[in-house]
Amino acid sequence: MVGTKGAETSSRLAESMLELIQRHGYSGTGLNAVVEHAGAPKGSLYFHFPQGKEELGERAVELAAARFGSLVTGSSTATAAVTATASAPATVGEVLGRVIDELAGMLEGSDFQLGCPVSVVTLEMGAESERLRGACADAFESWIAPVSELLVAHGRPRTVARALATAVVSMVEGAVIVSRAQRSTDPLRCAGQAIDVLLAAQGGEASE
């Protein structure tokens, strides 16, 4: 059983993998670099992640899913996320505005070096690794589901809410990529405006 110290080392390795994927991509992130970045003992990586880079990459994707999901829900656990979202007093526009602001701040604060690691891993490894593709699919679902529940809580029919939530997450993900390429948060802000229009056209103002 891994003790507290071991759990801390495992967590540092996953955090380092996540940050390095955001900066250099999955393929550009070597395991030696992860160990060095984490300040972990040599040999600790395969102790904690015996299946190597894919297992560590999967953990990093899960970490990213929880972290980005908390922008919507304020909770890092899927069950609590849906519950919190469904009962949240915030309007759809307020929640999505917060997400856009946080992502814009992340981009500007990192000089546009950090992006969404889930999209990075999907683009690089989705056709190469079923394990990583599945982890990325689960990550996207963990964001779509609470957004859908939020829309249901604000009066959208469930089938419509699901379609809108999928579109919203897809638009934001694409906007982050374009913002990094252009070194500007304008594409992300434009996506936010477009989402407002989309939600308004599908049953009420986004800001409600």
Residue for token pair 């949240």: 88
- pLDDT for residue 74: 57
- The residues of the chain scoring below 70 in pLDDT are 1-3, 72-90, 203-208
Residue for token pair 């996207």: 140
* Residue 26 amino acid letter: Y
pLDDT tens string 163-193: 999 999 999 999 999 999 999 999 999 999 9
Q: Can you spell out the DSSP letters for 118-134? A: HHHHHHHHTTT-HHHHH
CB 72 within 8 A of CB 81: yes
Q: Is 206 helix (H, G, I), strand (E, B) or coil?
A: coil
Say whether domain 62-201 belongs to CATH 3.30.360.10. Answer: no
- Statement: the pTM of the whole predicted model exceeds 0.75: yes
Write phi, then psi, for 124 (nearest 5 degrees): -80, -40
- pLDDT for residue 62: 96
Question: Nearest 5°: CA angle at 126, between 68 and 38?
Answer: 55
Contacts of 120 (CB under 8 A, 6+ apart): 21, 22, 25, 26
What is the domain partition of the chain in residue ranges? 62-201
- pLDDT for residue 90: 66
- pLDDT for residue 111: 96
Question: What is d(CA 140, CA 54) in angstroms, rounded to the nearest whole number?
Answer: 18
Print burial letters for 34-57: b (CB count within 10 Å at least 16), e (below 16).
bbebbebeeebbeebbeeebbbbb
Give the count of alpha carbons within 13 A of 119, CB side only. 17
